[in-house]
Chain A
Amino acid sequence: MSGKRTPFYNLHVSLNAKMADFVGFQMPIQYPTGITKEHEIVRTGVGVFDVSHMGEFEITGPDRNAFANRVTCNDVGALRDGQAQYSALLAENGTFIDDCLVYRFDDKIMMVVNAANIEKDWKLLVLKKAGINVRLRNISDDVALLAVQGPKSEELVQSLTKMNLSRIKYYHFETGKVGGVDCFISRTGYTGEDGFELYFRPADAEVMGNTLIGHGRGEPVGLGARDSLRLEAGYPLYGNDIDDTVNPYEAGLGWIVKLDKGAPFTGRTALEAVKRGDVKRKLVGFKVPEKGSIPRHGYDVYLKGTKVDTVRSGGFGPSVGGAIGTTYLPTHSVDPGTEIEIDCRGTKVKAEVVKMPFYKGGSVKKS
């Protein structure tokens, strides 16, 4: 199998993970535990995900905050040191180039981007840098990243560090040691559960992996469960729910667009026009009431007999006990209860618009 390896490759193999290519990386899709059980573990206990394939860019220099504010749509000025935010890189026409996390340190900005988009995002940053006093570094290969997720995350990580984790609020981070390894740790995640993301040097991956994963500690969880967890929690996935044909207002992500932040940012002019006019379609969640079929990414979606879109994300939600998905519908037909049909390999299957998130019982503490 070809593809890049994360620093945890050997650990995955030793844990008998089912490895597969994911956007050019060899990643664990599941472990022998299985996707459903892994999903359940994150909802009730604590699971550990290798997400080292994600990309990281470091922005330093006197104009770092202003620069980050120009290339992303959320307001970096609203962040204090030690705080992070969900944001996006947009094209001039206001559509998504990528979604990202922006971490504000006292001496730098770090952006975390999707693995599939690292090259594209990096080119954009380099292009936008002209004339601005910042230094950019693509540190994607120099960062190992584990996500520890689940209601028992704090208990697990607290047992391995002197940092007071209860003080780290949602979307905040601190620098310190976990299991003796230098890292910084943020209370963030992609599962709907409480949890942390730990960034550290690849050279420390073996120690950190063995510290966090194992019997009585965190269960290893693969990308399969990561997808079902994030879908249930209503988090968008780039390439499915959002892409370069969709703007944030359509995707229900208007809250990350700060038109009035006092900095011109890529896509702003286009989005002002979008906001003045009508948003013609919106991302909705749907469920399939009847058992038997699972809507998958790419299946056609019909509203009153007319094809309106495709399934953006689709799958079985173990915690909601049924098949769920997302699609774009005309704004006049997005109310919960609206009936749609999905062409599941030749059979039209009824589905119903529901409010997202699909799973509301998560332990994530947003305040």
Chain B
Amino acid sequence: MSNIPDELRYTEEHEYVRSESDGVVTIGITDYAQGELGDIVYVDLPDVGTEVAKMDVFGTIEAVKAVSELFSPLTGEVVDINTALDGNPSLINQHPYEDGWMIKLRVQNLATIEELMSATDYAQHIGE
């Protein structure tokens, strides 16, 4: 069983969204996703200031086994990226919801967060 925190929102592509204060959300990949990907070697993230639309590819993860793309769960502007991943991408494997976060997004329309999956829905989505 993978870790699926109740307070987060999720996408079908296995990203999570954590609402912070002032309209900013933190985005990363779920514990289930990191487990499926296996050891992560490189992460390519967008520059701060990049505008992304919902479902845009915002980055790439290279794991030992395979490469996969990161899809933005929401529309907004990238206001911060996790530079620690540059030197230590295994943080995603170790702590996907904490030190392994990827980007912070200033969301255009906060109401759209509610359209994302709940923890219960996501658990169902991955068959747990």
Contact = CB atoms under 8 A, between A and B. Distances in A.
Interface in B29-58: 38-39, 41-42, 44
A316 B64 contact: yes
Contact of A29 (B41, B62, B65, B67): B65
Contacts of B93: 34
Contacts of B65: 29-30, 35, 224
A294 B39 CA distance: 13
Contacts of A35: 38-39, 64-65
Contacts of A345: 60, 67
A296 interface: yes
Nearest to A30: B38
A29 to B, nearest CB: 7
B80 to A, nearest CB: 20
Contact of B41 (A18, A30, A294, A296): A294
A315 B42 contact: no
Contacts of A34: 38-39, 93
A250 B128 CA distance: 50
B42 A292 contact: yes
Nearest to B62: A294
Nearest to B69: A345
A228 interface: yes
A316 B41 contact: yes
Interface centre among A30, A37, A292, A345 (most CB of B within 10 A): A292
Contacts of A37: 39
Interface in A172-205: none
Interface in A87-117: none
Interface in A113-167: none
Nearest to A296: B67
B102 to A, nearest CB: 15
Nearest to B42: A292
B39 A292 contact: no
Contact of B39 (A36, A291, A296): A36
A107 to B, nearest CB: 43
A34 B90 CA distance: 12
A37 B90 CA distance: 12
Given A35-B65, A36-B64, A345-B67, A294 B42 contact: yes
Given A294-B67, A345-B67, A316 B62 contact: yes
A228 B64 contact: yes
Contact of B62 (A30, A36, A293): A293
A254 B62 CA distance: 35
A228 B62 CA distance: 15
B29 to A, nearest CB: 16
Contacts of A30: 38, 65
Interface in A15-71: 18, 29-30, 34-37
A293 B39 contact: no
Contact of A291 (B38, B42, B66, B67): B42
B30 to A, nearest CB: 17
A36 B93 CA distance: 12
A294 B38 CA distance: 15
Most chain A CB inside 10 Å of its own CB: which residue of B42, B44, B64: B64
A294 B62 CA distance: 7
A224 B64 contact: yes
Given A29-B65, A35-B65, A224-B64, A293 B42 contact: yes
B91 to A, nearest CB: 14
Given A34-B38, A36-B64, A345-B60, 20 more contacts: A18-B38, A29-B65, A30-B38, A30-B65, A35-B38, A35-B39, A35-B64, A36-B39, A224-B65, A292-B42, A293-B42, A293-B62, A294-B41, A294-B67, A296-B66, A296-B67, A315-B64, A316-B41, A316-B62, A345-B67
Q: Which 3 A-B pairs have the closest CB atoms?
A: A36-B39, A35-B64, A294-B62
